[in-house]
Amino acid sequence: MNNPIRLYMSMSLDGYIAGPDDRPGQELGRGGGRLFDWLDDRESDGPSGQVYREALATGAVISGRRTFELAGRWQGDHHSGVPIFVLTHHVDDGDVPLGHACFVTGVEECARRARAAAGDRPVMVHGAGAAQALLRAGQVDEMEIHLVPVLLGDGRRLFDHLGGDHIELRLVRRLDDRDVTHLRYEVRRPEETA
């Protein structure tokens, strides 16, 4: 696929993407910053540098509303001026995000607009809520999980609310680096698993 919708998330071995009590001023929750220690190597020529450069080469971003707000709305620019589509349930009158961001209330519409905006580049997905909504709608093509060898024990889980449907994955890449394993999975469609 020339422009996959790809989830990019750092996650603890027990499935958390943030520690407990994530909120403004403590965006990653208590202890959640540990999940991003691998970014210390983002400028390297190693696997973490490669993965980071690939993430910054994406052509659009889909974010959940909560992630968008906790990130300070990225001041309207996630990276390189790419469009940011914020998946949300409700938009308040007069709430217009800065820069390259816009609110979208429909999952399929959000995926369609992000793919069109990204051209031939992948679409980056951030946030548990957006990831779950897109997975339930069959709109995620790949997942890049930065698996960190820690058990946070509590916090915000990535895959808590997927519903009862079985989702098959195929490992397409594994890159080991200092204190992280970068795993890329392809989401298999039901017709591929039948």
pLDDT, position 193: 61
pLDDT, position 99: 92
pLDDT, position 1: 63
pLDDT, position 65: 95
- Distance separating alpha carbons of residues 182 and 47, to the nearest angstrom: 8
pLDDT, position 102: 96
What value does the CA radius of gyration of the chain take, rounded to a whole number of Å?
16
- Distance separating alpha carbons of residues 186 and 8, to the nearest angstrom: 13
Residues 6+ apart with CB under 8 A from 53: none
Cα dist from 39 to 74, 115, 124, whole Å: 18, 27, 17
pLDDT, position 2: 78
Which pLDDT tens digits describe the chain residue by residue (194 residues)? 679 999 999 999 999 999 999 999 999 999 999 999 999 999 999 999 999 999 999 999 999 999 999 999 999 899 999 999 999 999 999 999 999 999 999 999 999 999 999 999 999 999 999 999 999 999 999 999 999 999 999 999 999 888 777 899 999 999 999 999 999 999 998 776 65
